[in-house]
Amino acid sequence: MKRLYPDVTRYDDGFIDVGNGHSLYFEQSGNPDGIPVLFIHGGPGAGLPPNYKSFFDSNKYRIIGYEQRGCGRSTPLADTNNNDTWLNVDDIDTLRSHLSIPEFLLFGGSWGSTLALLYALKYTAHVSGLILRGVFLARQQDREWFLSPHGCAAQLFPEHYRKFTKDIPPPLSANAVCEYYSAVLKSNNDVLKHAALRRWYQWEERLSRLSLPPGVGDAHCHYPMHLVTCLATLECHFLSNKCFIPENYIIDNIDKIAHIPGTIIHGRYDMICKTEAAETLHKAWRQSQLQIVPDAGHSTSEPSIGYALCRATRDMSRFLKEQTQ
């Protein structure tokens, strides 16, 4: 399948109060009587991408998108108070209950794959299947891959890593990066804070795709400040706290979802999330299928990733239909 599905207009949207001062934005599109699928965005802090509905056949799917605590249209923006992994997992179930959905397919990419897996582990009975892209298992080695000078990202993009870490005193490590950025982002110096936010965002952006358009990821490229603030602040917050889950938690508990079907899509040259993580998950999860996309990195904006995701949703809709017959 070498195309995306047509984008569609939402038929419903609103906000849901999840407590602790947080209100989450959600929207629905597609077929109200179709297979319920929840799109779980990445980051933490990325918000809903503009084309996320194009991975689904809107005649077959009831497409639900939402923005996590502190993200996008959810309020308050970029707030780290009362914002941890398990609260975000519980928010998914609050949304499910609000929409009166007995069970749904989870579609998560990057950090969204982490939340999808954790939700499935905790609320197994409410999950019909999973489609995951750019798997992030939130282990120490996954954080090192993205932030450490010894990680693959820093090794392949040394000039960009040098800019990302230019004010951090040696010795450099993933923990040192998190400690530095956490301190600066909590400071009262707005000049330093804004510069740090942009450097973090530029590092993420530069790694996200195998091939970037001219200027993207460069220091002079303009990014909307609310996007920069949200992504950098929340990524730093979660990574600084080891994503609020024990080491290797997902793999250690994967037998809880051994019966749930899943498809894993991962770009071979993903510089943000290790391809090894997708392989490790696949080996541990008996009902999973793995496709390593040979000519892609991390982002859904890369054509081969998008096409693979469309095939996955098409095949999953057929499988789920057969299961109900």
Residues catalogued as catalytic:
110, 270, 298
At a CB cut-off of 8 Å and minimum separation 6, what does 309 contact?
Answer: 55, 107, 131, 133, 265, 300
| Residue 244 Ramachandran class (φ > 0 left, ψ -120 to 50 alpha, else beta) | left
H-assigned helices in the chain = 85-98, 111-122, 140-147, 152-156, 158-164, 174-185, 190-208, 225-240, 249-252, 275-284, 303-324
Beta strands in 20-80 (DSSP E): 22-30, 35-40, 61-66
**Collapsing DSSP states into helix, strand and coil, what is residue 30?**
strand
Residue among 45, 69, 52 at smallest CA distance from 224: 45
What is the three-class DSSP state of 31? coil
Residue 120 contacts residue 106 (beta carbons within 8 Å)? yes
DSSP assignment of 89-144 equals HHHHHHHHHHTT-S-EEEEEETHHHHHHHHHHHHSGGGEEEEEEES-----HHHHH
Write the CA distances from 162 to 48, 153, 193, integer angstroms. 30, 12, 18
Peptide bond into 213 cis (omega under 30): no
